[in-house]
Amino acid sequence: METAKKTQEERGAGFRRYKTKNLVIELLPIIVLALLFAIYMTVITIRGYKMELQLTRLFNQAIVLVTVATGATFIYALGSFDISLGASVLFACTMGVLTYNATSSVALLLLVIVACGVGCSLLSASLATFFKIPPFVTTVAMMSVLSAIATTLININNTSGGTASITLPLNLLDPISSVWIKALIAGAFILLCVFVFNFTKVGRRIKFLGGNPTCAKLSGIPASVYTIIAFGIAGLGVGIGALLTLAYTPSVSSGTAGSIGMNIFVAIVFGGMPISGGAKSKIYASLIGGFSYMLLNQILLWLIGTSMNGVAQIISAALFLLIVFLTSLNYRTRLLPR
């Protein structure tokens, strides 16, 4: 009797430790974000930087990454990824600027930017569906094609004497250049994604496909349809991200948004989302991870300097691997996740 009671108490204690460990791991990305922000504010205070200026700069850098990454979460939840998102942002910005310079219409500028973002993503998904190949394969090809087209158009329409670039009138997008308007635009899109991802059958089925595509297929869920939906939502994020990019810098060169594709991957993982997608996918991972990644980059830039950029990249990579290891502890099993 006493042995059975002792065994039951041990099991209860073990279950509580298990729950505590899982809770800590779930909260780890938020803890890391809070720690990085505390370090960031400490460096600003010690060095005497203007706080409002630095916070505004951080927001402007992070908001594009967070917006595009939030849309991309639907693709990552499928267990796939899109490496062409940076090239899509570049292409959308290029086409938007060229459209305005040709028509002087802000409405057409906005329409073309969003249409290009959605169109590029839908083209990648449609090619993958038509040729029956993994979506990420088509996105690799799309990255090269879109970058080449955008670079060619920029070179042809170069409006500067130095580095090839095309520009909008400086004050054209002033109505949406303030921090609050950008936050409102990005926030509306993020809330839409949260609703679709967590409270509709679209989000549930996308996560189901990412967790177990065979079972989802046998349940009658068409993978091609939800792949196109996921890429379409990601494309909308690309369009909004391109608009926010132009609102911050009304100039486009071949290097615009060049690192977004890989930064999205890092940001989503920093936010605590498993690489394999599925039921453990979190729509808020991009928000937490995006700001964490930008905070980390800025802190390393201040503490190490641009001359030691290689060291900063090594530190970022080491932290990335550590975050992946720690956040995977609560869903790691003896079996593969799919």
Structural domain boundaries of the chain?
61-261
Q: Is the pTM of this model over 0.85?
A: yes
The pLDDT of residue 187 is 94
Could you give the percent of the chain with pLDDT greater than 70?
85
Q: Which residues neighbour 181 within 8 Å (Cβ) at sequence distance 6 or greater? A: 175
Please write the tens of the pLDDT for every residue from 52-74: 899 998 998 899 999 999 999 99
Could you give the percent of the chain with pLDDT greater than 90?
37
Q: How sure is the predictor about 334, in pLDDT bands with cuts at 50, 70 and 90? A: very low
Q: How sure is the predictor about 270, in pLDDT bands with cuts at 50, 70 and 90? A: confident
Q: Which residues neighbour 113 within 8 Å (Cβ) at sequence distance 6 or greater? A: 92, 93, 95, 96, 239, 242, 243, 246
3-state helix, strand, coil in the chain (%, to 5): 80, 0, 20
**3 vs 96, more confident:** 96
Q: Which residues neighbour 294 within 8 Å (Cβ) at sequence distance 6 or greater? A: 58, 61, 62, 65
pLDDT at 273 > cutoff 90: no
Helical (H) or strand (E) element with 92: helix 85-103
Distance, CA of 168 to CA of 29 (rounded, Å): 38
The pLDDT of residue 2 is 54
Helical (H) or strand (E) element with 174: none
In the chain, the largest separation of any two C-alpha atoms, in whole Å, equals 88
In this structure, what token pair is assigned to residue 198?
């967590």
The pLDDT of residue 319 is 74
Whether the Cβ atoms of residue 67 and residue 189 lie closer than 8 Å to each other: yes
The pLDDT of residue 14 is 60
In this structure, what token pair is assigned to residue 252?
């486009």
First to last CA, the chain: 42
Whether the Cβ atoms of residue 210 and residue 281 lie closer than 8 Å to each other: yes
Please write the tens of the pLDDT for every residue from 314-327: 777 777 777 667 66
The pLDDT of residue 336 is 46
